[in-house]
C-alpha cells in the first residue's frame, strides 16, 4: 500500500515556482518529492525490497485527461533533478538537462507534464545501498541486486500513484534510454511514444569491461571495506578513478583534442613530475572525479553499473525482434556520429528490429563532435529532432 501520509502529500503534484531566480526559460525553483511504498517490490534476482522510496520531481501541469505526461529517465550519474533549481543561491547549478526541460524548450512544460525520478539503487532520495534497511542500519551490500527492469517496475508504482494510466512519452539517453525501451516492451499499453537517445538494446562486452574496470577501482580502495564504509571514510579515491575512466568514454578523441590538446597545466614547460597533473586533461579528469564524489555513493555506482551490464532487452523473449514485437509505441531513435561508447550501429540494431516487427520508428544520426555526452550538450541539435517528433505525435493524437 502507499503510506497514507505520503499519499496526501503527493496526491496533487505541485507546479514548480519561478519565484526568486530569473532564468532563460527555466522552470525556476523546484522541490524534490518522494513517496514511500509499503509494498513488496519483487526483483529479478529473486529478492524482495520492502518498503521502498521513490524520489522524483515534476515540471509543468498535468492536464485534466492526464494524457500529457512525459517521463524522463536519467543515466548512470544522473538523478531525478533534471531541471530548475532547489535554492536561490547564485552558485547552485541547475538540473542535469536544464537546457532541455522548461517553457518552450525541447520538453515544453507549457504543453507537457514532465516527471523525472531517481532510480532504485541510486543515492538521491530513492532507496539504495546507502539507505537505512529495516534494522535501522545502512544496507550496504545487503541491498539486493537490481536490474533495469526492476528500476522500471519501481517507476510504475510512481506513475500509478500520480494517477497516470498512459504516458504520452518516455525519453532518456544512455541508461535512461534502456529504461524507456524496457517500459515499451514490458508495459506496451502504457507508453505512446519512446525517445531513445545514445544507447543500445543490450550492453556489449566492451561496455561491460569499462564498467567492471570502474568497479575494480572502488574495490581496490581500502576504505571500501566490502561496502561497509558508512559512518567512516568513504572510498572516494576509488570512486573518483571510476568516474575519471567513465568520463573518458563519454567524450570523443576529437572533443578532447579540441578542448585540451597537449596543453600543460599551470606550466610553460614540462615539469617532469609525478607530484601533480602536468597536462590540462589530467587536471580536468581529476576535477571530474572530485566533483563526482561529493554527490554520489560508491555502492550506488556498483549497483547501477551492474544493472547496465545486465541489460539485454531481447533476453527474456528469445530475440530482440520478438521483444520489440510486443511494443505499441512510436519510436524515435537517435545516435551520434562521435559516440564510441554507444555507437550508431547499436542504435541501428534496434531500428532494424523495430522495422522487421512492423513498428513505427524514426532514426536520426546526429552529427555532433562531443562523443556520448552529445545528447546532453548538443541540446539545439537534439531539440530539432525531438521537438519535431513530439509535435508530430501531438498532432497525430488530435
Contacts 24+ apart (CB under 8 A), 183-188: 183/71, 183/152, 183/155, 184/324, 184/327, 184/328, 184/329, 184/331, 185/313, 185/317, 185/323, 185/324, 185/326, 185/327, 186/149, 186/152, 186/326, 187/152, 187/156, 188/326, 188/327, 188/328, 188/329
What residues are paired with 42 via a beta bridge?
48
Instruction: Check if 339 is active-site.
Output: yes
The beta strands (E) that lie in 174-273 are given as 193-197
User: For residues 274 and 210, is the Cβ–Cβ distance under 8 A?
Assistant: no
Rg (CA), the chain: 21
Q: Would you call 353 helix, strand, or coil by DSSP?
A: helix
- Other Cβ atoms within 10 Å of 167 Cβ, number: 27
- Other Cβ atoms within 10 Å of 89 Cβ, number: 9
Cα gap 346→178, rounded to integer Å? 12
- Other Cβ atoms within 10 Å of 270 Cβ, number: 10
Catalytic residue from among 174, 255, 335, 338 = 174
Cα gap 171→382, rounded to integer Å? 12
Cα gap 331→362, rounded to integer Å? 6
Q: Which of 101, 108, 107, 83 is nearest to 29 (CA)?
A: 83
Catalytic residue from among 99, 150, 297, 339 = 339
Instruction: Check if 74 is active-site.
Output: no
Instruction: Check if 157 is active-site.
Output: no
What residues are paired with 279 via a beta bridge?
264
Residue 127 CB partners (closer than 8 Å, separation 6+): 49, 51, 52, 53, 54, 120, 121
Cell 597533473 belongs to 277
Q: What does the buried/exposed string (b/e) look like for 57-84 if buried means 16 or more CB atoms within 10 Å of the residue's CB? A: bbbbebeeeeebbbbbbbbbbbbbbbbb
According to DSSP, residue 146 is labeled -
Catalytic residue from among 130, 199, 372, 373 = 372
Q: Would you call 64 helix, strand, or coil by DSSP?
A: coil
Residues annotated catalytic, as ranges: 174, 339, 372
Amino acid at each position: 500500500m502507499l503510506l497514507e501520509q505520503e499519499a496526501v502529500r503527493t496526491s496533487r503534484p505541485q507546479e514548480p515556482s519561478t519565484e526568486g531566480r530569473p532564468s532563460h526559460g527555466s522552470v525556476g525553483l523546484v522541490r524534490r518529492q518522494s513517496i514511500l511504498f509499503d509494498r513488496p517490490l519483487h526483483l529479478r534476482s529473486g529478492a524482495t525490497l520492502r518498503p521502498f522510496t521513490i524520489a522524483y520531481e515534476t515540471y509543468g501541469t498535468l492536464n485534466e485527461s492526464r494524457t500529457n505526461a512525459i517521463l524522463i529517465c536519467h543515466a548512470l550519474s544522473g538523478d531525478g533533478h533534471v531541471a530548475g533549481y532547489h535554492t536561490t543561491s547564485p552558485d547552485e547549478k541547475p538540473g542535469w538537462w536544464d537546457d532541455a526541460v522548461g517553457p518552450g524548450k525541447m520538453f515544453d512544460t507549457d504543453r507537457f507534464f514532465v516527471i523525472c525520478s531517481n532510480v532504485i539503487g541510486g543515492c538521491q532520495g530513492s532507496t539504495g545501498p546507502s539507505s537505512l534497511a529495516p534494522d535501522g542500519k545502512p544496507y550496504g551490500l545487503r541491498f539486493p541486486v537490481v536490474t533495469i527492469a526492476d528500476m522500471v517496475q519501481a517507476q510504475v508504482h510512481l506513475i500509478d500513484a500520480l494517477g497516470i494510466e498512459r504516458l504520452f512519452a518516455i525519453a532518456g539517453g544512455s541508461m535512461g534510454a534502456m529504461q524507456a525501451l524496457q517500459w515499451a516492451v514490458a508495459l506496451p499499453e502504457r507508453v505512446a511514444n519512446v525517445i531513445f537517445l545514445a544507447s543500445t538494446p543490450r550492453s556489449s562486452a566492451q561496455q561491460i569491461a569499462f564498467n567492471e574496470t570502474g568497479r575494480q577501482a572502488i574495490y581496490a580502495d581500502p576504505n571500501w571495506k566490502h561496502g561497509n564504509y558508512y559512518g567512516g571514510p568513504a572510498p572516494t579515491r576509488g570512486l573518483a578513478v571510476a568516474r575519471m575512466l567513465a568520463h573518458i568514454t563519454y567524450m570523443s578523441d576529437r572533443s578532447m583534442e579540441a578542448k585540451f590538446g597537449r596543453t600543460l597545466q599551470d606550466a610553460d614547460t614540462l615539469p617532469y613530475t609525478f607530484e601533480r597533473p602536468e597536462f590540462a586533461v589530467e587536471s580536468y579528469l581529476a576535477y571530474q572525479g572530485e566533483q563526482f564524489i561529493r554527490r554520489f555513493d560508491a555502492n550506488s555506482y556498483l549497483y547501477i553499473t551492474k544493472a547496465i551490464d545486465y541489460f539485454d532487452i531481447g533476453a527474456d523473449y528469445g530475440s530482440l525482434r520478438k521483444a520489440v514485437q510486443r511494443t505499441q509505441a512510436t519510436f524515435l531513435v537517435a545516435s551520434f556520429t562521435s559516440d564510441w561508447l554507444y555507437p550508431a550501429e547499436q542504435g541501428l540494431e534496434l531500428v532494424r528490429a523495430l522495422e522487421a516487427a512492423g513498428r513505427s520508428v524514426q532514426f536520426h544520426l546526429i552529427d555532433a563532435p562531443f562523443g556520448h555526452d552529445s545528447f546532453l550538450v548538443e541540446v539545439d541539435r537534439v531539440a530539432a529532432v525531438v521537438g519535431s517528433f513530439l509535435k508530430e505525435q501531438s498532432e497525430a493524437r488530435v
